[in-house]
Amino acid sequence: MSGALDTVFQVIAEMAVNRAKSLALELAQKKLRSACEPLKSHLPNLCARIGSDPLLELLRNRNPLVEALEEDIVIFMIKKAGLPKDWKPVARELGLILRSSVKTGKLPTEEVVIPLIESRLEDLVTKVKPTHADELRVIRVLLREYREAGYDLDVLNWPVLRQFRLPSLGESRYVSEFSSAWQWASGVIDERWPSKCLPNTDCKAERVAQLAALRVSPVSFIVTDPVFFRQLKLFIELAESLERLREGSLQSSWMPRIRALLQDKDPKAQARQMIHVVYDFMKENLEEKQAPLLETLRRLSMAVLDRQPGEMLRIFIDFLKAWDPCGEKTLAKEADACRKHMVGLQKALKKSLATIQLVVGLLEEGPKDEKPDEAKKRRIQLLEEFTKTMSSRQDRAGEWILSLGVSAVMGLSYGCQYTGQGLAGDLENAHWNPPALSLPLGISVEHFHGNWGFHGMVYPFDLGQYVRTSQDEGEVVVPEPTYTNAFTFGLQLAVAYLFHDIPLTFGLDVRYIPVLEYAEKDELPDGTIQTVSPATRHVQVMLFVGFHFPLLDFN
C-alpha cells in the first residue's frame, strides 16, 4: 500500500513541476511579446521569432534570434537607402559576409562581392519552378493526356508551363502558346477529352463541372487565368483530376481494391481492408452530412477489431455527439431536455473513462521492456489527461469551486523549530529560509470574477521531497521520500489569476510540519564520521507565488 501511495505522490509531484515550468516559460514569453509590440514595426522578424518559437529553445540556441535581428537590420537599411525590394537577398548576403569579416578581422574583397551580386541578379530573373518530383509527376500526366488529345510533345515547352510567371497578354511571343492552350481547353468542352465518362451521365456537363471544380473558367482556361499555372497547388489538382477521370466506372474504381484485399493472407489485415472498403463505398453513396457519423463508426469498427475497450468507450462518446437523436423530437421542450440528458451522459462517460485509465495506468505494470523514465512519462501523461477531463475553470465565473488539487509554489519563508516549551523559546531559534519548491496537496476552494479571483486551500501533504534532485546537501543527508515524511498540515490564502485556465496564485502560506526527518553527519574526536537521525517539528510562514493545478472538481 505504501509503495502504491508513493508512486501516486511521485507522479502528481512530477506532473505539477513539469506543468509549472511550462506555464512559467509561457508566461515569461507572453511578457516578452508585450514588450516587443511597440518595436514590431522596426524589428518584425525578431518579434515574430519571440512570438512563435518556444522560449526554452531560444534560450538554448540564440542563433535564430541573431539571424532574425540581422534580417531586420537589412530591411531597415534597404528602406532607408531606398533600395528596391529585389535587392534584399543581395543585401542579406552582404550582411552575412560583413558579419564573418567582423569575426575574422578582414574586410570582404571585390572578388567576393562582385560575383555575389552577379549571381543574385541571375537568380532574380529566374522564376520559381516546382520541386523536381512534383514537376515530373505533372509532366507525366499531362504528357499522356496531350498525346491522347492529338498534340505533339513540344506543348511541354510552352513558357507558361515552364516558367510559372504572369505574362503580359500583349507580348507577341506568347500569342501562339496561348492560342494552342485555348484550343486544347476548347477541345475539352467539345467532347474531345481523352478520358471516359461515367455511365448514364452528360459528358459535356461532366467535363464543364470538372473544370469548374478546378476553379478555372472553362472558356478562357489559360488565356485569362495564367495565374493558374503559377500556383503549383492548382497545377497538381489538375493532374489529380485527370487521374480520377481515368478511373471511369464504379467497377474500375472499386474492384482493384477488393481483389487486393482478397489476395491478402493475413485475416486481420484482410478484415481491416474490408472495413475501409465498405465505409468508403458508403461514404461515396450517402449524403455529405452523414460523413462524420460514418467516420466515427469506422473508428469504432477498428477499435472492436483491435480489442481496445478504452478506445471503444471514447469513440462511443464521439458517436453520441455525431448522432444527435434529440433532433428527432418534435416538441422543443422534449428536444432541450433530451440534449441536456445527452450532455450529462457524455460528461459522465468521459469522467468514468478518465478515472479507469488513470487508476489502471498508475497501478499496473507497463510492458516488460519499459524503462523507469518511460513509465514515469506514461503515468504523468495519464494524470494530465485525467485533470483536463475532471476539472475546468472555463465559464465558471461567480461560482464557488471545491477541488482536490496540488500547488507548485516558491517563496520566502520564516520558521522555527517547535519544541513545546513556549513561544518565546521557539522564536529564539526562528530564522529565514532560502526559497525552496513546495508542492502542497489538498482541498481548495476558489471563486473567480473574470480572470481574477480568490484561492484558499487546506492540505495534509507536501510532495516537494518527491522531486528533489539531490539527497546529499553537505552536512545533511535527506532520507528517501516516503508518504510519512510528506505529512504537512497547512493553510493557503491567495489572490488568483487565471492563465490558460490554470490559477496563478500570490499569497500567504502557514504550515506545521510534524516530522522533519534528516540525517546529520557529526565528526567524533577520533576523526570518524557518525550519522544521527533526529526528527524535529517545524512551524513556517511563507509568502509565495506559483500555480495551482486542480486534479478533480467536486462540484
Task: Name the band, by pLDDT with cuts 50, 70 and 90, for residue 101.
Answer: low
pTM for this predicted structure: 0.50
CA–CA separation, 541 and 416 (whole Å): 9
The confidence score (pLDDT) of residue 169 equals 46
> Comparing 9-13, 127-131, 465-469, 525-529, which segment has the lowest mean pLDDT?
127-131
- Given CA atoms 94, 98, 101, 103 in this order, what sign does their dihedral have? negative
Average pLDDT, the chain: 64
Grid coordinates given for 350 = 468521459
Q: How many CB atoms lie within 10 A of CB 297?
A: 18
The confidence score (pLDDT) of residue 65 equals 74
CA–CA separation, 551 and 389 (whole Å): 9
The confidence score (pLDDT) of residue 238 equals 47
Task: Name the band, by pLDDT with cuts 50, 70 and 90, for residue 159.
Answer: very low
pLDDT per residue over 383-400, tens digit each? Answer: 777 677 667 777 778 889
Residues sharing a CB contact under 8 Å with residue 414, sequence separation 6 or more, in sequence order: 430, 431, 432, 433, 540, 541, 542
The confidence score (pLDDT) of residue 333 equals 57
The confidence score (pLDDT) of residue 157 equals 45
Inform me whether the pLDDT recorded for 239 exceeds 90: no
C-alpha torsion 350→547→494→457, nearest 10: 50
In this structure, what DSSP letter does residue 74 have? H
Q: How many CB atoms lie within 10 A of CB 1?
A: 6
Which of 235-239, 386-390, 515-519 tops mean pLDDT? 386-390
Alpha-helix runs per DSSP H in 364-502: 372-390, 423-428
The confidence score (pLDDT) of residue 533 equals 59
Task: Name the band, by pLDDT with cuts 50, 70 and 90, for residue 231.
Answer: very low
Element (H, E) at 186: helix 175-189
> Comparing 31-45, 165-179, 311-325, 518-532, which segment has the lowest mean pLDDT?
165-179
DSSP notation for 531-547: EE--EEEEEEEEEEEEE
Task: Name the band, by pLDDT with cuts 50, 70 and 90, for residue 514.
Answer: confident
What is the pairing mode between strands 472-473 and 452-462?
Answer: unpaired
pLDDT per residue over 427-483, tens digit each? Answer: 666 778 878 889 999 999 999 988 899 999 999 999 888 876 544 444 445 556 777
Grid coordinates given for 173 = 511571343
Inform me whether the pLDDT recorded for 498 exceeds 80: yes
The confidence score (pLDDT) of residue 135 equals 40
Inform me whether the pLDDT recorded for 511 exceeds 70: yes
The confidence score (pLDDT) of residue 337 equals 62
Identify whether the C-beta of residue 43 lies closer than 8 Å to the C-beta of residue 17: no
Query: Region 131-152: what's the mean pLDDT?
Result: 47
Identify whether the C-beta of residue 437 lies closer than 8 Å to the C-beta of residue 408: yes
Query: Region 195-224: what's the mean pLDDT?
Result: 45
Task: Name the band, by pLDDT with cuts 50, 70 and 90, for residue 228.
Answer: very low
Domain residue extents for the chain = 2-125, 132-248, 391-553
Burial group, residue 444, by CB count within 10 angstroms (0-12, 13-18, 19+): buried
Grid coordinates given for 510 = 502557514
Grid coordinates given for 393 = 475553470
7/254: higher pLDDT: 7
Task: Name the band, by pLDDT with cuts 50, 70 and 90, for residue 45.
Answer: confident
User: Which of 163, 139, 157 lies closest to 230 in space, CA to CA?
Assistant: 163
Query: Region 152-157: what's the mean pLDDT?
Result: 45
The confidence score (pLDDT) of residue 88 equals 59
Q: What is the 3-state secondary structure (H, E, C) of 363-375?
A: HCCCCCCCCHHHH
Distances (CA, A) of 83 to 78, 95, 119, 239, 330: 5, 15, 18, 41, 70
Residues sharing a CB contact under 8 Å with residue 519, sequence separation 6 or more, in sequence order: 476, 477, 478, 479, 531, 532, 533
Collapsing DSSP states into helix, strand and coil, what is residue 548? strand
Task: Name the band, by pLDDT with cuts 50, 70 and 90, for residue 409.
Answer: very high
C-alpha torsion 97→100→101→105, nearest 10: -170
CA–CA separation, 412 and 434 (whole Å): 7
Query: Region 266-288: what's the mean pLDDT?
Result: 65
550/192: higher pLDDT: 550
Which of 172-186, 337-351, 380-394, 422-436 tops mean pLDDT? 380-394
User: Which of 169, 179, 164, 167 lies closest to 234 in space, CA to CA?
Assistant: 164
CA–CA separation, 144 and 152 (whole Å): 11
Q: What percent of the chain is modeled with pLDDT above 70?
A: 37
Identify whether the C-beta of residue 343 lies closer than 8 Å to the C-beta of residue 350: no
> Comparing 6-20, 163-177, 323-337, 480-494, which segment has the lowest mean pLDDT?
163-177
